[in-house]
Amino acid sequence: MKNEFFSRSYSQAYKNFKLLFKNPFRWFDVTFWPLILFFSITIFASYLETDPRILAVVIMGLIGWRAVYHPLMEINTLYMEEYWSNSLGHFFITPIKPIEIVLGGTISALMKFFIVFIMYYLIAVFLYGFSFANFPVFMAAIFFLFLFGISIGMLILGLMFKMASDSFSLSYTVPDIAVLISGVYYPISFLPLPVQAIALLLPSAHAFNLIKASLGLAEFSWVALIITTIAWLLGTYLFMQWAFRSAKKSGKLVRVM
């Protein structure tokens, strides 16, 4: 039973790996686009010539955001690939379960994140003499951000089960909204008060506070980070499971109707 669970989960990672290694354009996701983002933001931050800690926050923010982006995109593209190929019928006739799609996406996301992490770190050291203020704390923040990425992945996967292609654009818009209010590159206190209240419900806001706190630039609460992370994981998992059952009922899972 355990072996079957891992075999089905690995099938999803296998699909992502094969598609990545066979198509050079898919490497843009771990090379071209992250580099464009990196240089746009770090060049601007160094041009401003402010407190050097700000540049460190920006670099760690860029790395941290990739920890959210890759799991959510890998999980969602697993479904989208099948949808675009019109092969959902063949996919869901197999014993695959939603949680196995999530685990498969997480495996390939780990690999992609690792590539971008190393690339960003080497460039940051070479160009800006960057070093981590507190590496273990930074890695703890990365861990929680990765879990948040999985949560958003499950949320959007659930929406895809329910709404199919109508929800595909959410894969891109939900992270954009989250990046705006999570205080990736600036303190949350900079945001309007009602937005701050919403931001504090996101584990990403607390994880980025942890990164800033390692440089003495913010206050941080472990309790808030852990509670919001568990709440998001649990809530989005339950939503995804409900959406899967509901899509089976309505026939939307394989577009019967």
Contacting positions for another protein (CB under 8 A)? 3-4, 7-8, 10-11, 14-15, 18-19, 22-23, 81-82, 84-96, 245, 248-251, 253-254, 256-257
Tokens of 31: 């090379």
Cα torsion 62, 196, 233, 153 to 10°: value is -50
Asked if residue 20 lies in contact with residue 26, where contact means CB atoms within 8 angstroms, the answer is: yes
Minimum distance between the CB of residue 44 and another protein, rounded to whole angstroms? 37
Residue 76 vs 204, nearer CB to another protein: 76
Minimum distance between the CB of residue 137 and another protein, rounded to whole angstroms? 38
Minimum distance between the CB of residue 158 and another protein, rounded to whole angstroms? 17
Minimum distance between the CB of residue 102 and another protein, rounded to whole angstroms? 15
Q: Which helix (H) or strand (E) holds 27?
A: none
Of residues 146, 169, 171, 145, the one with CA closest to residue 157: 171
Neighbours of 133 (CB within 10 A): 17
Residue 68 vs 73, nearer CB to another protein: 73
**Number of continuous H segments (helices) and E segments (strands) in the chain:** 10, 0
Residue 4 vs 51, nearer CB to another protein: 4
